[in-house]
Structure 1
Amino acid sequence: MSVTAASGFAAAGVVAGLKSSGKRDLAIVQNLGPLASAAAVFTTNRCKANPVLWSEQVIADGVVSAIVLNSGGANCYTGARGFQTTHETAETVAERLEISAGDVLVCSTGLIGDQLDLDLLKAGVWDATLALQSAGSDGPDAGLAAAEAIMTTDAKPKEAVQVSPAGWTVGGMAKGAGMLAPGLATMLVVLTTDAPLDSEQLDSALRQATRVTFDRLDSDGCMSTNDTVALLASGAIGVNTDLDEFTAALTEVCRSLAEQLQADAEGASHDIAIEVVNARTEDDAVAVGRSVSRSNLFKAAIFGNDPNWGRVLAAVGTTDAEFDPYAIDVAINGVQVCVAGEPGQPRELVDLTPRAAHVLIDLHAGEATATILTNDLTHDYVHENSAYAS
């Protein structure tokens, strides 16, 4: 189970006809209460899709009763007509569920620059709301159907759950396989909890969780226009909730979803964790890890099973982080290939045939650390993204 694991939520995923594949392409997650508190974070791209512009207004008061998501079109750079489509989609959900349109988040994903078919969207909302009213809309099958409906180039749905000893639950679903880079990575994520938390508490927990998970997923260095991570609380489990404990559980759900996004990245053959240790500051550690993750030379080398640690150091040296360039250590999959800026163990000892690859960079400049998740650069990635719109 994912978004329906927490009490007080129902979900549905249906075929609206927005995708030519005939697969599910519209989902609704409804918060049944008694609370309707919420928080959300969005792409930091200045070029934002219409659903993001709408949802930024909706979340301002911290109240959300439902979220509607579609694949099959991003509804971005579609002008006033596109924003009206978003507005009318929210209005249709509100009418069907007898809630306010101002309490409906809207998310879209797919190709930029194409208008969505409003009639298909409305018909899909009708079918989804009928499904919400049926038995089983709060069960695992309903959660899975919703997770499938938001997929684009994803190979499989992404779901995660954490249950606390106190009895409250955090569940989540995500989509994303390409354009994975901060802010947030190219994703739609819905997180739910039955803990009785208000919107300020949810916002604090969500920003702490995304900062060390989704914001450190950097698969291909490309930032989306539609990224949305929403957290909804029903308060259906009326038990005292420690905010630190909740934040830790939420972070684990986000980490699991981020790792699933990484593992499903378009065409990837290696999942790479770039761990930077002993940095002067956490920001320095993030900057160094991100620079390596965005080096096409490094990513191509990993694809070719070539432990070319010189490409790691070359990327590290482009940052403004504080370190001595000739005191850096680098290990790849446990082999210390560079020690204090000089050759260490023979690179031939590094085994890069497994899918998992770990790069450890020791800056010897402080005590801060950070890990960036990325993937290799493959022929399949180039092929898939050369034909995305065809």
Structure 2
Amino acid sequence: MSVTAAAGFRAAGVAAGVKSSGAKDVALVVNDGPLSSAAAVFTANRAKANPVLWSQQAIAGGSARAVVLNSGGANCFTGAFGFQTTHRTAERVAERLGIGAIDVQVASTGLIGVGDEAFRAAVLHGVDLAAASLADDGGEDAARAIMTTDSVPKQAVARGADHGQAAADGRGWVVGGCAKGAGMLAPGLATMLVVLTTDAVAPADVLDRALRAATRATFDRLDSDGCMSTNDTVWLLASGASGVQADEAALTAAVTAVCDDLAAQLQQDAEGASHDITIEVTGAETEDDAVVVGRSVARSNLFKAAIFGNDPNWGRVLAAIGTTDAAFDPYAVDVSFNGVRVCHAGEPDRPREEVDLAPRATSILIELHAGDAAATIRTNDLTHDYVHENSAYAS
């Protein structure tokens, strides 16, 4: 279970014909309460899909009873017809559940510009099927139904205080979630749809602060290919079914742990990647500086191509960070690849031959020696497979 790990939630994932492959393509997550507290963060892209425009308005009051999601079409740049499709989708969910359309959050993922009558009919059919299939253990099906180029579903569930398995159960409440995303992974939440659930008792303002703190340190620091989606959304819904009031700090820690695990899963499933690269920046004057420095490397195609070729080219790291306005002396920087310091104080250090870049997991340490702040950015290498997959995405 994932989104249904917390009490008070049911979910379903069905094949409705949105995808020509016959795979599951419509998911529904329902909060049975007693609470309907909710918060969400949306893509920072000015080009927002119709479901984002709807959901931003609908959740303004801090409440949501259901999230309906489809894969196989982004319903973005589909004009008035597309927004009407989103509205009708929310209305159909509301009819099936006996709630108001304003209580329904809507999400789509897939090819931009898809939104004809056949798409609408398939999504509405999927709503009917999903509403009839809701189950306490439907989280797995829901996670599969939101996949596009994902190779595996992303879920985050565990019991007790074991945050290492991406969930939290503290003093009687649980946090769980599911996510999709494999391409267009960049800040602005990364290209993904994420539904997080908890049975803790928490008002919308607490959920909002917890969610924003969590996404800031996790999803917003996943920068796989520097491309920002039009559909990104992360929700946090609280049912209150545990009857336990959550301490805000504990809830924030739990939500962050779940988001961090899901972000790692997104990184590991990035389109075409052969290396999962963790860029740790230490010794920065501020945390923002550390993020800017790490992101500059994550977005360097030269650096990413070098990693694909198993080349510990530390010169490309220094060239990238030198384009930022972060406070540091480029000639005081140390750079390590997989534990081998190849650059010290802006000069060559250990021989490049000592670096083994064969493993998929790749770590880069950049020590700025300018302060005490630090941050970590996740990215991937740039491969032939990534180019091929994205050149044929619409075919």
- TM-score, normalised via structure 1 length: 0.98
How do 1:256-295 and structure 2 match up within 5 A?
A: 256-295=261-300
Distance in 2 between the 1:120 and 1:333 partners?
48
Which of residues 150, 159, 175 is equivalent to 1:154?
A: 150
Quick check: 1:112 aligned with 2:112? yes
AA in 2 matched with 1:150? I
Partner of 1:131: 133
Distance in 2 between the 1:287 and 1:89 partners?
40
How far the C-alpha of 1:121 sits from its partner, in A, is 1.3
How do 1:146-185 and structure 2 match up within 5 A?
A: 146-161=142-157, 162-185=167-190
Corresponding residue SS for 1:60:
coil
Partner of 1:2: 2
Distance in 1 between the 2:342 and 2:124 partners?
58
Partner of 2:43: 43
Quick check: 1:350 aligned with 2:355? yes
Distance in 2 between the 1:175 and 1:240 partners?
30
How do 1:179-198 and structure 2 match up within 5 A?
A: 179-198=184-203
How far the C-alpha of 1:163 sits from its partner, in A, is 3.1
Distance in 2 between the 1:28 and 1:241 partners?
26
Partner of 1:202: 207
Q: Deviations over 1:190-220 (max 9, x none)?
A: 0000000000000000000000000000000
AA in 2 matched with 1:123? H
Corresponding residue SS for 2:331:
coil
Q: Deviations over 1:105-138 (max 9, x none)?
A: 0000000012152211111111100112xxxx01
Distance in 1 between the 2:170 and 2:237 partners?
20
How do 1:216-235 and structure 2 match up within 5 A?
A: 216-235=221-240
Distance in 1 between the 2:245 and 2:218 partners?
26
How far the C-alpha of 1:357 sits from its partner, in A, is 0.4
Partner of 2:388: 383
Corresponding residue SS for 1:256:
helix
Corresponding residue SS for 2:60:
helix
Distance in 2 between the 1:249 and 1:230 partners?
15
Distance in 2 between the 1:191 and 1:304 partners?
37
Distance in 2 between the 1:124 and 1:164 partners?
33
Q: Deviations over 1:163-189 (max 9, x none)?
A: 323110000000000000011000000
AA in 2 matched with 1:320? D
Quick check: 1:305 aligned with 2:307? no
Q: Retained in 1: the 8 A contact 2:226–2:299?
A: yes
Partner of 2:103: 103
Superposed CA RMSD in Å reads 0.6
Distance in 1 between the 2:36 and 2:94 partners?
14
Q: Structure 2: 5+ residue runs without aligned partners?
A: 158-166
Corresponding residue SS for 1:107:
strand
* Structure 1 residue runs of 4 or more that deviate by more than 4 Å after TM superposition: none
How far the C-alpha of 1:77 sits from its partner, in A, is 0.3
Partner of 1:30: 30
Corresponding residue SS for 2:235:
strand
AA in 2 matched with 1:266? E
Quick check: 1:55 aligned with 2:55? yes
How far the C-alpha of 1:325 sits from its partner, in A, is 1.1
Distance in 1 between the 2:385 and 2:394 partners?
16
How do 1:358-373 and structure 2 match up within 5 A?
A: 358-373=363-378
Partner of 2:161: none
Q: Alignment identity in percent?
A: 72
Q: Retained in 1: the 8 A contact 2:202–2:245?
A: no
Quick check: 1:144 aligned with 2:128? no
AA in 2 matched with 1:128? A
Corresponding residue SS for 1:108:
strand
